[in-house]
Amino acid sequence: MPMRKLKELLDAMDVDYVVTHHRPSYTAQETAQVCHIPGMNLAKTVVVHLNGNLAMTVLPAHYRVDIFKLRKFTGAWSLRVARESDFMAKFPDCEVGAMPPFGNLFGMVVFSEEALNHDLNISFNSGTHSEIITMPYDRWKDLVHPYVADFHR
């Protein structure tokens, strides 16, 4: 797993998790299909520029970030979706676009879509386009400390 830091954290915190290998997929919706997981149950990460700093949003695979809702929630004066070239260097152990939803491991604030709050488990890319991790949502929330809000469209 490219994200050794993530695996070490999960193991150190005694988190029960399952690693699932699958054929390479490059969108969250495609990954959900390949893994036979409803799009609502696969979390994707979208990196944003929030007042000039990178932040991470986490939402179900088939949702999109509503910039206006997120801006209102955060009180930000500047908010936009980041380009891959803006954040590639921040995730050196990850394949581009396969970052796990652990912004705290990268010094980033994390915002979680409240729709994820209703799931028992959370599944997400582990840093590669051919592997996902599934773990209890409550344990993820305890480790990441995301700000939870309704910011999807």
Looking at every residue in the chain, the average pLDDT score rounds to 92
Indicate whether 16 pLDDT > 50: yes
Tokens 């390949």 sit on residue: 34
The domain locations on the chain are 4-149
pTM here?
0.93
The whole-angstrom distance between residue 150's C-alpha and the CA centroid of its chain comes to: 15
Q: What is the pLDDT averaged over residues 67-88? A: 95
User: What distances in angstroms separate CA 7 from CA 19, 26, 138, one per listed residue?
Assistant: 10, 22, 17
CATH superfamily of the domain spanning 4-149: YbaK/aminoacyl-tRNA synthetase-associated domain (3.90.960.10)
pLDDT of residue 3: 67
Helix (H) or strand (E) holding 138: helix 137-144
CA 68-57-127 angle, 5° bins: 150
Give the tens place of pLDDT for each residue, 19-66: 999 999 998 989 988 898 888 889 999 999 999 999 999 999 999 999
Q: What is the pLDDT averaged over residues 137-147? A: 96
Indicate whether 70 pLDDT > 80: yes
Indicate whether 2 pLDDT > 80: no
pLDDT of residue 1: 40
Confidence of residue 79 (pLDDT cuts 50, 70, 90): very high
Q: What is the pLDDT averaged over residues 69-96? A: 93
Find all residues with CB under 8 Å of 146, minimum gap 6, and list them.
58, 110, 111, 112
Q: Is 9 left (phi over 0), alpha (psi -120 to 50) or beta?
A: alpha
